[in-house]
Amino acid sequence: HDTGQVAERYGWEPRRINPALAYLMARKLIVDYKVLASQYNSIRVVKTDATRRFVKSRS
């Protein structure tokens, strides 16, 4: 998903979504697409099987 669209959907500014992205990226729970000169840590986020397991373990 496009990070900008996700942020807009939840009303999150970059200062709020970037730490969440960093957490998920550090644990390799998402496939991330980084670019230069973006306000987001990643411009696109793709879930993986690990993402599903992570979410399921916390619900």
Of 36 and 8, more confident: 8
**pLDDT for residue 46:** 86
**pLDDT for residue 43:** 87
pLDDT digits (tens, 9 = 90+) for 31-58: 888 888 889 988 888 888 998 899 899 8
Q: Provide the 8-state DSSP code for 45.
A: E
**pLDDT for residue 11:** 96
Q: Provide the 8-state DSSP code for 58.
A: T
Q: What six digits make up the tokens of 4?
A: 């900008």
**pLDDT for residue 33:** 85
Predicted TM-score (pTM) of this structure: 0.77
Q: Provide the 8-state DSSP code for 36.
A: S
Q: Which of 26, 53, 56 is nearest to 42 (CA)?
A: 26
**CB 29: neighbour CB atoms within 10 A?**
19
Of 35 and 23, more confident: 23
